[in-house]
Amino acid sequence: MASYHYLYCQQTDECVEVVACVGNWKGPRIEANVLQAFLIYHFLTAPGAPMVTWEAGSVSRGRFMVDSLEELAEQRDLAGDPPREKLPVLVWTEQNHRSLAARAEGLGDTLRDLEAAPSGGVWIRRTSDGRLIEPAGSQGL
């Protein structure tokens, strides 16, 4: 059985997957850049907003999960004026994180600069046991 856990911002109704539990395997399925962009965006736009870790079914119980600003706007228009807890949750993914980050002044440019840097534009992460998670195709550090 699989479960997916998200870091969810209660103020903005946005989330990003942080851990997937599939069988005996646990770990992130996304690039570190997506999580980093999500965290920077929320630091800039909603400083101090509470974030919680939710299992995917908990976040979306009775709610839509959408992954584009266009779909979010469409769902909100269709919903009219329901209670906030019934509005869609916006999910940051590898496909959408640049366009979502562009909403914060300067953050989109910062991400583009990082991606053009000699490092190849990937934040390297260290696991709890000290291993480095490197970008696909890297030669090692």
User: Which residues, including other chains, have CB under 8 Å from residue 78's CB and lie 6 or more apart?
Assistant: none
Question: What is the rounded average pLDDT of the residues 108-132?
Answer: 67
More confident: 110 or 52: 52
The yes-or-no verdict on residue 92 having pLDDT over 50 is yes
The yes-or-no verdict on residue 140 having pLDDT over 50 is no
The whole-number pLDDT of residue 139 equals 45
- Cα distances (Å, whole numbers) of residue 9 to 6, 39, 91, 94, 139: 10, 10, 11, 18, 36
Which two tokens mark 56? 């995917």
Q: Across the chain, what does the average pLDDT equal?
A: 80
Beta-strand ranges (E) seen in the chain are 2-9, 14-22, 25-27, 51-55, 65-66, 89-92, 125-126, 132-133
Question: What is the rounded average pLDDT of the residues 111-140?
Answer: 62
Confidence of residue 128 (pLDDT cuts 50, 70, 90): low
List pLDDT tens digits, range 67-84: 999 998 888 788 766 666
